[in-house]
């Protein structure tokens, strides 16, 4: 009994934490380049619906995943154009992108509500998956779960160990200096926002292709916003984002477990857990985290014609 609960809780934390991690990495990359994107929720929804539709038509979740990533990237470029090229307010443009994503995904997915797919297959790691408790919890997941931590590590490596990453961080800290060093901040921001869109699309696709295996309007339920909070929690560091995503995945999973066990508490009160936890964590760590924020976060570089 206890072993079963521990196993489901651990496994659930990992599965729920995976889309959060991809989304957090997407937001983290944008913010490292100085752009706050509140529209991630919309990007995730577009990724979720496009991935789902592509999977329904081709029967291949791999094609769905690629389509979701591309759709997320292209969709995020609308946001990039408005905030980078047109220098619009990032928060307002982000919320607008969210609305656009909610509406577009509803329009695209209307005919697919209720469709069923096989989704991303579960890949069992031989031998390890047969270990008691830990086995099924850690080694029987879909490919996106296994890839999540390596992608976080890759994000860290790109940001802190490559020239391009250096320029991304330079643009986020001080775009004028980056410009003086010979790199166009606008080009860098376009590139980053495309990559972030791809990650956001994949985050959404994990929900529709691996977790729910169906499409429902607004199925992300605020995970895009939780990711924004997680970026602050992780003090803009990709590896700490892994811990954050696991913690919040744990909160979502705990709530599901308590409901499954029939704990006499309203599911709506339990649903509050991730949001209240986000707030509590920020209230405790937030003050210190602010100093880690990229220097020109939210500002607009106006140097080039």
> CA dist 171 to 89, 105, 126, 167, 186, Å?
17, 32, 45, 6, 9
Contacts of 283 by beta carbon, 8 Å cutoff, 6+ apart: none
Q: With binding defined as CB under 8 A, does residue 272 bind another protein? A: yes
212 sits near another protein (criterion: CB under 8 A): no
Q: What are phi and psi of 123, to 5 degrees?
A: -105, 110
Long-range contacts of 138-141 (CB under 8 A, 24+ apart): 138/10, 138/11, 138/14, 140/11, 141/11, 141/14, 141/15
Instruction: State yes or no: residue 256 binds another protein (CB under 8 A).
Output: no
- For residue 147, give the 3-state DSSP assignment: helix
Is 93 near another protein (CB under 8 A)?
Answer: yes
Contact between 302 and another protein per CB under 8 A? yes
Q: What is the number of residues in the chain?
A: 305
Determine if 154 is a binding residue for another protein (CB under 8 A).
no
Residue 222 near another protein by CB under 8 A: yes
- Check binding of 279 to another protein (CB under 8 A): yes
Q: Among residues 6, 77, 91, 134, which is the contact residue for another protein, using CB under 8 A? A: 91
Per-position b or e across 177-203, b if 16+ CB within 10 A of its CB: ebbeeebbbbebbbbbbbbbbbbbbbb
Residue from 226, 245, 251, 254 touching another protein (CB under 8 A): that is 226
**How far, in Å, CA of 233 to CA of 11, rounded?**
23
* Region binding another protein by CB under 8 A among candidate stretches 2-10, 50-58, 148-156, 263-271: 263-271
Q: How far is the CB of 13 from another protein (least distance, A)?
A: 20
Among 211, 229, 251, 258, which residue sits at the site for another protein (rule: CB under 8 A)?
229
Which among 23, 2, 92 has a CA at the least distance from the CA of 252? 23
- Which residue stretch of 60-68, 130-138, 239-247, 284-292 sits at the interface with another protein (rule: CB under 8 A)? 284-292
Q: Which stretch binds another protein (CB under 8 A): 5-13, 105-113, 174-182, 198-206?
A: 105-113
Q: To 10 degrees, what angle do helices 40-58 and 90-109 make?
A: 20
- The yes or no reply on residue 218 touching another protein (CB under 8 A) is yes
What does the alpha-carbon distance between residue 254 and residue 74 come to, in Å, rounded to a whole number? 35
Write out the binding residues for another protein, residues 27-86 only, by CB under 8 A.
38, 78, 81-82, 86
Determine which residue in the list 1, 3, 116, 268 makes contact with another protein, applying CB under 8 A: 268
Report the residue number, 58 or 89, with the smaller CB distance to another protein. Answer: 89
60: left (phi over 0), alpha (psi -120 to 50) or beta: beta
123: three-class secondary structure by DSSP: strand
Q: Which residues bind another protein (CB under 8 A)?
A: 38, 78, 81-82, 86-89, 91-93, 95-100, 102-104, 106-108, 110, 217-218, 221-222, 225-226, 228-229, 232, 266, 268-269, 271-272, 275-276, 278-279, 282-284, 286-287, 290, 299-300, 302
């Amino acid at each position: 009994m206890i072993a079963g609960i521990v196993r489901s809780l651990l496994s659930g934390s990992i599965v729920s934490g995976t889309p959060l991690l991809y989304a957090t990495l997407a937001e983290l990359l944008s913010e490292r380049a100085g752009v706050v994107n509140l529209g991630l929720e919309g990007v995730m929804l577009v990724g979720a619906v496009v991935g789902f539709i592509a999977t329904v038509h081709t029967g291949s979740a791999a094609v769905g995943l690629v389509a979701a990533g591309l759709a997320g990237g292209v969709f995020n470029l609308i946001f990039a154009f408005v905030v980078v090229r047109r220098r619009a307010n990032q928060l307002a443009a982000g919320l607008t992108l969210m609305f656009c994503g909610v509406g577009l995904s509803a329009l695209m997915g209307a005919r697919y509500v209720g469709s069923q797919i096989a989704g991303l297959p579960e890949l069992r790691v031989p031998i390890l998956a047969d270990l008691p408790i830990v086995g099924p919890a850690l080694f029987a997941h879909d490919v996106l779960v296994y890839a999540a931590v390596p992608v976080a590590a890759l994000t860290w490596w790109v940001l802190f160990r490559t020239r391009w990453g250096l320029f991304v961080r330079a643009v986020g800290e001080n775009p004028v200096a980056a410009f003086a060093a010979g790199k166009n901040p606008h080009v860098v921001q376009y590139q980053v926002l495309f990559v972030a869109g791809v990650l956001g699309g994949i985050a959404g696709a994990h929900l529709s292709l691996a977790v729910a295996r169906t499409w429902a309007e607004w199925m992300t339920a605020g995970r895009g916003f939780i990711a924004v909070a997680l970026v602050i929690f992780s003090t803009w560091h990709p590896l700490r984002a892994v811990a954050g995503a696991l913690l919040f995945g744990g909160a979502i999973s705990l709530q599901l477990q308590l409901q499954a066990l029939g704990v006499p508490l309203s599911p709506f009160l339990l649903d509050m857990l991730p949001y209240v936890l986000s707030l509590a964590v920020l209230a405790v760590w937030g003050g210190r985290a602010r100093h880690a924020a990229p220097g020109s976060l939210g500002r607009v570089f106006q140097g080039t014609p």
